[in-house]
Every structure is written in C-alpha cells, then in structure tokens.
Structure 1
Amino acid sequence: MTTKPKISDREFIALMAVIMSLVALAIDSMLPALSNIADDINIMDLNDSQWIISFVFFGMSAGLLFYGPLSDAYGRKPILYIGVTLFLIGDVISIMASDLTIMLVGRFLQGFGGAACRVITVAMVRDRFEGAEMAKFMSLIMMIFILVPALAPSVGQFILFFAGWEYIFGFMFLFGFSAIMWFHFRQYETLAPEGRHPFTLFRIATRTIEVVTNPVSISFTIASGIVFGSFIAYLNTSAQIMQGLYNVGDMFAVYFGIQAFVYGASSFLNSKLLSKYSMETICLFSLSTLTITSILFFGYLQINNHEMSFAMLMIYLSTTFFSIAPLYGNFNSMAMQPFGHMAGVATSVMSAIQTFFAVIVGAIVGQMYNGTVEPLVTSFMVCGIVTLLIFTFGRKKLNKAKA
C-alpha cells in the first residue's frame, strides 16, 4: 500500500539523482585508472582497456529489459533493491579480478544491476509527473546527477595517489550501499497496488510491441540512443585523448570535470527554458547547434592536417556537451507521453533500445581511435545529422497526434 510521502520534492530530486548516478560513478571514477588496470591485468592493447567501460553499458542494455516489467508487477522499491545488490556483487568481482575476462564479468554485472537505477528512477518520476513537468524534474535531476561524473574522475585520481585501483571499487561499494539505505528509509513506494500489472510474458510482449510500434515513441527513443552513442565514444576515449594525445597527466580529472559542469549548467538552463519554450523547440535548437558545430570543427580538422589544439578541443567539447544536455530529459519525456499507464515496461523497452544503439556506436568509434580526435568529432557530426533527421520525423508524428 502506498504510504504517505516522507520527503519533499527537493529531496526526491536529490535522491533520484544519487541513485541514477551509481552507474556514472562506476564508469567515470575508473577513467584515470584504466592504464593502471591495464598494467596489472596484462592488457597489451590500450584500446582493449575501453571494454572496461563498454561492458558496463553492455550489462545495462541486457538488464534494462527486465526491471521495468518487474517493477510494474511488484513495485518500484523491491526491484531497485535487487538491482543495487547485483551491482554491489559485480563490484566485489571486479576488485578480485586478475585478468580482463574476470574484470569484464564484474563490470557486466555492475551494468546489469545498475540498469535498475536508470529504469526505476525514470519510472518513479513518471509515476509522479508527466509532460513538461516531468521534463523539468528530469532536468533538475540531471543537474544534480552530473556532479558525480564531474567529480568522479577526481575521486578516482585522488584514491590512486594513495592506493591501488581496487580501492576505487571499494569507494563505489560504500557509495552504492549508502544510497540504497537513504532510499530505503526515506523514499515511499510510488506505484500503488491498484496500478500494478501481473508479470507475464504475454503482457510484456504486447506492451513491448505497443512501444516499438508507436512512431512518436520509437523515433525519440532511437534519436536519443544515437546521439548518446557519440557521448559514450567520448567516455571510451577521453583518457587516451587527454592523457595520451595531449599529455594532461593528473589534470585529466579537472578537464573532464569542466565538461561535466557544462553539461550540468545546460540541464539547469533547460529546466528554466521549459516554462517558456516547448520541448520540441529546445531539442531542435540543441541538435542544430550540435550538428553545425561538429561540421565546422570537422572542416577545421581537414584544413589543419587532422590536428586540433587542446584549447580548440575544449571549446568544441564544451559546445557539444552544452547542446547534448537538454536532449536526455526532453527526449525521454516526449517518448514517455503515451505510456503513463505502463511507465515501467515503457521505460525498460525504451532504455534498452537507447542503450543498445548508444553502446554499439560508442564501441565502434572507440575502437577506431587512431591517436587523433578526428574519429570523435566525426562521430558527433554523423550522429548529430542522423539524430536531427529522426527527430524531424518524430516531431511531425507528434504534431499530427496532437492535432
């Protein structure tokens, strides 16, 4: 039975951001340690160390399909407990890894368990809000959430000053355990018993078909997945680019954090602009800026013998992340609009599709790293163009549905 809320909207936003940030911590805190891990577990090709990042996303894409239907049947809270427990088990396996295979098993399990954090937080927000109000709250959650990826590399780097990379995983364990305790004691169940649906394969199949055959939902879902694929490519290659190509050393965490704060500032601005402009207008402007900027910088690379100064790279990345930031909350809110009656399943299906597209794009671009930033800039340009075309199609369908 749904109990009386214990927390305010502000605490709810903070708590959802912390829960959602668990996977981000698992990814970004490890970035400064990839070369250390590669040395300790005998990874010969540095591009192979990218799999330590990618396998978290592979695990997420597998886990995302399960948690939504389960949470629709049994409630949001118990399913999140299961997911975080699996995340913590994967964390322990990673600590004990002596070779790449064991490390990837642990990382896959971290992603599989952490997928619950993404599904349940979005579903709980959708349980309480919808439309532009949901997008506003998602933007505020993203604004707080971004503090973790902004600070996580610094935390990882700080730990490496005094201890081995295993202690970074130890920090993750404490963070995850603390977050789930906060959630347990403060957050009420948002899905009332009368709003639950039996967990059956037939129901899941029919609901999945309903999501993937909705032209509005599937358009914004795929668009989100493709544009964030280039973002994963950045995560996969950021350490190699900044530490290997530009030799920034321990300053990597600072430069990485700057881009994360730019992302957070843009998310905050998006939450304010939603009171004046539609989600579609903001997304169109953001995608156009991303695409045009990437085309210009791609041309710059061709003229400048495929080279870019570090200052120019920072300018490009700042513009890119400022453009991408509003898209996550807005795309998800537009895609979720038809599915308030099945938020859990819809979130699972859409998140799985998004992550599948994103991890494939990110892995391909990451493996194309050749000692220059050209593959990364090219990926942002191509993904921006493709996403803009898909968004235009989805926007037409959305406007037709409203008419």
Structure 2
Amino acid sequence: MKHIHTILKHKSSESIFMTLFLALPLFTLLPMGIDLFLPALNDIQTFFLGDNSVAKFAISIYLLFWGIGQMFWGRISDIIGRRNVALIGLVVFSLASYLISKITQDNATQFLVFRALQSFGGSACFAAIFAIIRDTFDGVKLGRAYSYLNGSLAIIPVSAPLIGAFILQTNSWQYVFTLFSIIGLCSIVWTYLFTAETLVKSKEDDILEKQSTLEAYKSVVTNKSFVLYLSLTLVGFLGFMFFLTVAPLYLIGHLGLSKVSFGWMFMLIAFVFMIGSFTVPLIVEKIGIKNTVSIGIVFYTLGGVLIFALSSFGIWQTYVLPMAIIAAGCTIFVSACPAFALEDFKENAGTASGLFSALNFGLSSMGATYLASIISLDSSRDISYIYIVIGTLVILTYFLYSFYKNKNIAK
C-alpha cells in the first residue's frame, strides 16, 4: 500500500488532472451536501411544520461550519497529514448524514446540530485538498490548479440540483441523507486506497509544528497579500452565498417553480461558474491579476443593475440572466485570488488554506444569512436591493485593492 501511494504521489506531482482525480471525494462531497439538497428545502420546511427558519439555517449553518471546520482541520493537517485528516472527516460526515436521515418531526434543533456536524466533517476534506494542491504545485501551475479545482467543483452544482429534484419525485428528503452516508462510506475506501500523503516533514516544519495555534494563524493574517486577496474573494462570494440562501425559497416557494425546473436553472448558472473557472487562469496569464479583477467588477456591477431593473416583473425568468452574469464575476474572484493569497505559505499550507476558506465561507455565509433575514423572501425588489448593496461593496473593495497595488508599484 505504501508503494502504491508513492507511485500515485509521483504521478500527481506531474499532473493537475491526476492530483484532482485521485483526490476526487475530497472536493466533491462537501458541495454535494448543498447542491443535491437544495430542491428539498421546501419539503424540509413542510416536514418541520412550516418553520421557515429551519430551511434557511439548513444552508447557512452548513456553510458556516464549512468555514469553521477548515480553520480547525487546516492546522491539524499540518501536523498529522492531509490524508489522515480527510479520513477522519469522512467518518464524521457519513455518521452525521445517517443521523439526519433518521430525524423526527419534533427535533428541528437536532436536525441543525447534525447538519453542522455533517459540514464540519466534510470540511476536513476541503482543507485537505487545498493543502494538497499547495504542497504539490508552485507558480503558474499553482494558479491553474486552484482554478481547475473551482471548475471541477462547479460540475457538482451543474448536475446535483437536477439529480436531487429527480430523486425527490419518488423519495422523501430523508433519502437524500441516506445517500450521503453511503457516498461517504465509499469515499473513505477511495481515499484510503488512492489518495497519497503530500505533507513532507522538514526541520522548518518541526519549528512550525512547535508554534502555538495562535502564532500560526497570526503569521497568516498579518500577511498583506493574504488579507488583500481574501477580501476580494469574500465580497465577490457573498452574492453567490446570498443566492444559495434565498433562491430555493423564493423561486420554488413563492413563484411556484418546480423542483426540476429549478434544477435546470441552477445548472445554467453553475455551468457559467465551471466555464469561467477553467478560462480565468488563461486570462490572468495574458492580462494580469489587476485587469482580470477589473473584468470581474464589470460583470458583478452589470448583473446587480440588471437584477434591480428586472425585479418589477416578479417572474423567475428575469432572475436567471442577471444571476448568470453575477456568477461570472464571482468566478473571476474565486478562481484568480486564492493562489495569490496563498503563494507565501509553502510550509504552512494547511493553516493558511484552512483559514482562507474558513473566513471566506464563514463570513460570506453569515453575511448572506443576515441579509436574508432582513428582507421579505416574497419580494423580488427587496432581493434586488441586496445585490445593489453587495455590488457597492465589491466596487469599494476594488478601489482599496487598486490603491494598495499602486502604492506597492510606487515603492
């Protein structure tokens, strides 16, 4: 078995595709916990006697612990290894999924607790794959690897909501979580057999290991490039998180869109995300990171203006085009920025990548939940106001980014 892992590690170091393929469960399982589950939100709301908060928190709590978990597991992976952390997380994910599938109608709080545990376990895999990529690649290849990871991630939302909708036509929402537990068990076997350990210990690593957790994270958050590119990713991602939170409840619950139609609509938006993720590295190489981010600003602003202009129609068709444009802008931020944020952390990759993802997913999910709580989910105009606010935040962050970059050039 050790010999197999040595061979696989060698092959993955030469190929981004091989690295992603051998670590397939590490980046597919956690997003599947959202996308396959999205069409079931209204059924869950009905199951818990129409409690709207349960449905909303089912998404936001999952995203919050997606972030918190990566901050925890990222540091642990720097000590015990990427593969070991992933295996532990998969066990937790599978167990939590099974417990959710057996939940009763009077246990809404327990449902949310198990949902948080499910995400916390799955986040170990996400922390592991980010660290594996940082361990394996450098320079231009590192940027491509993160972008291709995002593109591969987008394959899940392209297909999962539609698959979930078809599953729910003949099964209850609990069956989705039974399926999660089975997939989780299969992922344990896959990871044990095929995922090689990429953490290589050195004398410098021994020194880093002796750092307190606080010191390790302090070294990351005081890095200016990390903070700069995290901020761009965060405000860009907030719009997509808000969409994930409100879209099923507004489009299915208020406008009466069928689950299958919602799946097709979500597939279109996710397809934009996927294509963008694979093309962004080429754009960065040709015109540079600053100009690439500028294009993202244009897409984000245009989408925000359109969603506001079309909101008075109150039909789902007017929601698709603006969200696809916003998704294109979001893709640019999410694909272009992580490699620049993490390029200084070769030895501390788990801690840095875990913190990056934790803050990105944690803060954006909390922000999306708060924004969803202060508006009426029956009002398309209220939803459009939120995108105007988010678009303004994106523009302000870009001006701060430009000021910092120009200041550095002047030096």
TM-score, normalising length from structure 2? 0.89
**Of 281, 295, 311, which residue of structure 2 is paired with 1:285?**
295
**Of 169, 176, 182, which residue of structure 1 is paired with 2:190?**
182
Contact residue 220 and residue 390 of structure 1 kept, 8 A: no
Q: Pick which of 51-60 and 368-377 moved more.
A: 368-377
The aligned runs of 1:204-219 (5 Å cut-off) are 204-219=213-228
Q: Give the equivalent residue in structure 2 for 1:266.
A: 276
Contact residue 232 and residue 358 of structure 1 kept, 8 A: yes
Q: Give the equivalent residue in structure 2 for 1:62.
A: 68
Tell me how large the CA RMSD over aligned residues is. Answer: 2.4
Matching of residue 381 in structure 1 with residue 388 in structure 2: yes
Structure 1 unmatched runs, 5+: none
Matching of residue 148 in structure 1 with residue 151 in structure 2: no
Aligned equivalents of 1:331 and 1:134: distance in 2? 11
1:396 Cα deviation from its structure 2 partner: 4.4
**Of 30, 45, 59, which residue of structure 2 is paired with 1:23?**
30
SS in 1 for 2:197: coil
Render the CA deviation track for 1:287-316: whole Å, top value 9, x for unaligned: 232023313432454xxxx44443321111
Q: Give the equivalent residue in structure 1 for 2:355.
A: 349
**Of 223, 226, 231, which residue of structure 1 is paired with 2:240?**
231
Contact residue 87 and residue 191 of structure 2 kept, 8 A: no
Render the CA deviation track for 1:378-398: whole Å, top value 9, x for unaligned: 333322332332244335445
Contact residue 306 and residue 322 of structure 2 kept, 8 A: no
Structure 2 unmatched runs, 5+: none
Matching of residue 330 in structure 1 with residue 340 in structure 2: no
Q: 1:196 to 1:87 in 2, by over 3 A?
A: farther
Aligned equivalents of 1:41 and 1:214: distance in 2? 45
Aligned equivalents of 2:314 and 2:44: distance in 1? 29
Aligned equivalents of 2:291 and 2:20: distance in 1? 25
Q: 1:201 to 1:267 in 2, by over 3 A?
A: same
Matching of residue 101 in structure 1 with residue 109 in structure 2: yes
Q: 1:375 to 1:18 in 2, by over 3 A?
A: farther
**Of 119, 125, 143, which residue of structure 2 is paired with 1:117?**
125
**Of 166, 175, 182, which residue of structure 2 is paired with 1:167?**
175
Aligned equivalents of 2:402 and 2:136: distance in 1? 25
Aligned equivalents of 1:201 and 1:366: distance in 2? 42
The letter of the residue matching 1:157 is: A
Contact residue 302 and residue 325 of structure 2 kept, 8 A: no
Render the CA deviation track for 1:134-180: whole Å, top value 9, x for unaligned: 22112212222211112111222222122211111122122223233
1:273 Cα deviation from its structure 2 partner: 2.4
SS in 1 for 2:237: helix
TM-score, normalising length from structure 1? 0.91
Q: Give the equivalent residue in structure 2 for 1:139.
A: 147
Contact residue 298 and residue 377 of structure 1 kept, 8 A: yes
The letter of the residue matching 2:101 is: I
1:18 Cα deviation from its structure 2 partner: 4.1
Matching of residue 46 in structure 1 with residue 52 in structure 2: yes
